[in-house]
Amino acid sequence: MNVCCTGRIPQKSVTSCQANKAVVEVQGEWKQVVTSARTWASIVRLKRCGGEVRLVLPANSAGEIPVHPVQSLIKAVARAHGWYGRIVRGELTGGRSIAHATGLDERYVGRIFQCAFLAPDIVESILDGRQPAEMTLESLRTHLPIEWAAQRQLLGFSAR
């Protein structure tokens, strides 16, 4: 079961957050996940990421990271690869022509376009929703190194 709770949640008070049929009770730093049909206790924590609060579940017994797709990250990667493909085909010439064709700000295009050069395993993790919990669109909009190992370290991925 994946539970995602976004919004502003007071850190020092007991609050409930509806996500499908699940209720997340917020008490201090560690939380308990409860469903209406069954009760599952899990140690989780809330993590502030940009303008949202994410419910971070620990890795399961097999060591797998819980899946939590972040649409803004997926959209950035998809846009960057689409723009790169259009440049390769000769339809566009660079950031300025992308900005003009899409109606987006040239600076925004430049920051998002670098996602076309992310390490393949980072792209796969983003598309699968297995990126680090603290990874946000803002972390991708900073200057990213071209070296894949440096990208992994900067974005919080384990070294390969």
pLDDT of residue 133: 82
Instruction: Tell me if 160 is assigned to some domain.
Output: no
Residue 42 lies in a domain: yes
> Which pLDDT score, from 0 to 100, does residue 68 have?
82
Last residue of a domain, one of 64, 83, 111: 64
Same domain, residue pair 48 and 89: no
Mean pLDDT, the chain cut into blocks of 10 residues (160 residues total): 40 37 39 44 61 62 68 96 97 96 96 96 94 88 92 89
Residue 151 falls inside a structural domain: yes
Structural domain including 47 reads 1-64
Domain end residue (candidates: 64, 95, 112):
64
CA-wise closest residue to 20 among 36, 42, 32: 36
pLDDT reported for residue 44: 61
End residue of a domain, out of 47, 64, 81: 64
Residue 19 bridge partners (DSSP): 22
The model's pTM: 0.62
- Euclidean distance between CA atoms 45 and 48, whole angstroms: 10
**Do residues 51 and 118 share a domain?**
no
pLDDT at 53: 67
Q: Is 38 left (phi over 0), alpha (psi -120 to 50) or beta?
A: beta
